[in-house]
Amino acid sequence: MSKVKVANQIKETANSVRNKIQRKSKPTLSFPLRSLSNVTYHPKKGFLELKGKKKIRTLTVATVKTFAQTLRMMSQAKTLVEDDEIMTKREAYYVSKNWDDARFDEQPESDTVIDDIEGLFEVNREQLGFIPEEKGGEIAGKLIVIDRDSDGGKPLRIDCTKFGSGAYSIPSSVEHLKFETKAKFVLAIETAGMFQRLVKHNYWRKANCILISMGGVPTRACRRFIRRIADELKLPVYAFVDCDPYGMFNIYRTLKVGSGNAAHINRYFCVPNARFLGVTPQDIVNYKLPTHPLKDVDIKRAKDALKNDPFVQHYKPWQDAIKQLLDMGVRAEQQAFAVHNLNYVIEHYLPEKLAARKTFLP
């Protein structure tokens, strides 16, 4: 969505509020409801989409403070868009300190309001000028990223094979990047530890791939980055995460179909063609991995996924995998392969799995 369009949309909303006030009725703002109960999974589109349930915030005595804060934040967004400026969520929180009584006491309050505005206009917050604080993940392997020089806008070619034992960091905004590659697939890895091992032994050369460290749940920028590589370079994406409900549904599911909380922007921030390489519950059996018992939160999360997650409900193999995990009552980490040999994962596990890509979970 272009900046002019965003600015106009903000103005339109402000006008509707004003008109209501002039007609002596209570102004309202309507936001999409941000929860798993308000999303559906469209296998064709490939991401979690809003069902369209709205929460309407009417200006009343109880809501007057949030209402005022939302409008002031909208005004701030309009200024950012018009001035082509950016602001982190933390900075937005500090700017609000000028608003006297309407200021935010804690950052989570201002974050919520920003998320609301994002939903209100169905854009991502980067388009409103609000950028996240979070870091986006790391890249190593056969990828050339074409960025722009921040001074003159001259193209900058960044070869991700040339970082030695380090890695290329995904910037917070990735829309302007271009890519070149000769790799055959993308391997998205949960932990920095496993990423380090693969980089150390130049696994990307051996397997002819791009390695990405997600560092837990992938950030929006990371998801967007992977999505663009996958779309523009036509590469398959494989996820390599821990075998527990967190790795499966918080990390992998979010990577593939987006989150329930920010469903209004999932269309940009998902990687529908991602596949689940491992670690699967069956891998625990096959590779005799050391395990830990499932914690209560794990069990709760798994049951919740079975019951409420539209993605899981759509895929029988996932339901079977969860049931298998719950029956086993254990979880295993991706670094558990070290029990056999430090480089067992490079020498045996990954090659064996990659040889049977048909068995990957959807």
Omega prior to 279 cis, within 30 of 0:
yes
Amino acid at 338: A
Would you say 103 or 135 has its CB closer to other proteins? 103
Would you say 75 or 341 has its CB closer to other proteins? 75
Binding string, 41-60, against other proteins, x = CB under 8 A?
------------------xx
Contact stretch for other proteins (CB under 8 A) within 61-69, 109-117, 163-171, 289-297: 61-69
Binding string, 76-115, against other proteins, x = CB under 8 A?
--xx-------------------xxxx-------------
Out of 67, 121, 225, 240, point to the residue binding other proteins (CB under 8 A): 67
Contact stretch for other proteins (CB under 8 A) within 65-73, 125-133, 144-152, 256-264: 65-73
Would you say 24 or 234 has its CB closer to other proteins? 24
What is the C-alpha to C-alpha distance for residues 68 and 145, in angstroms, rounded to an integer? Answer: 43
Question: Cβ 83 to other proteins, closest distance in Å?
Answer: 13
Out of 39, 48, 74, 346, point to the residue binding other proteins (CB under 8 A): 74
Q: Which of 333, 340, 354 is nearest to 203 (CA)?
A: 354
Question: Cβ 173 to other proteins, closest distance in Å?
Answer: 25
200 to 259, contacts with other proteins by CB under 8 A?
none
What is the C-alpha to C-alpha distance for residues 280 and 320, in angstroms, rounded to an integer? Answer: 11
Residues near 260 by beta carbon (within 8 Å), at least 6 away in sequence: 34, 35, 36, 38, 39, 48
Contact stretch for other proteins (CB under 8 A) within 67-75, 150-158, 332-340, 345-353: 67-75
Question: 287 an active-site residue?
Answer: no
- Which phi and psi (to 5°) does residue 158 adopt? -115, 115
- Which phi and psi (to 5°) does residue 238 adopt? -115, 135
- The two beta strands, 237-240 and 274-278, are parallel
Would you say 74 or 274 has its CB closer to other proteins? 74
Catalytic residue among 94, 203, 238, 287: 94
Out of 28, 33, 36, 68, point to the residue binding other proteins (CB under 8 A): 68
Q: Helical H runs in the chain?
A: 3-22, 64-83, 89-95, 107-121, 125-128, 192-200, 203-207, 220-233, 245, 253-257, 281-286, 296-308, 310-314, 316-328, 344, 350-355
Structural tokens at position 68: 């005022």
Q: How many helices (H) and strands (E) does the chain have?
A: 16, 17
Question: Cβ 130 to other proteins, closest distance in Å?
Answer: 16
11 to 40, contacts with other proteins by CB under 8 A?
11, 14-15, 17-18, 21-22, 24-26
Question: Cβ 71 to other proteins, closest distance in Å?
Answer: 4
Concatenating the DSSP letter of every residue in 141-165 gives ESEEEEEE-TTT--EEEEETT-STT
What is the C-alpha to C-alpha distance for residues 265 and 130, in angstroms, rounded to an integer? Answer: 14
Catalytic residues, by residue number, are 94
List contacts with other proteins (CB under 8 A). Answer: 10-11, 14-15, 17-18, 21-22, 24-26, 59-61, 64-65, 67-69, 71-72, 74-75, 78-79, 99-102
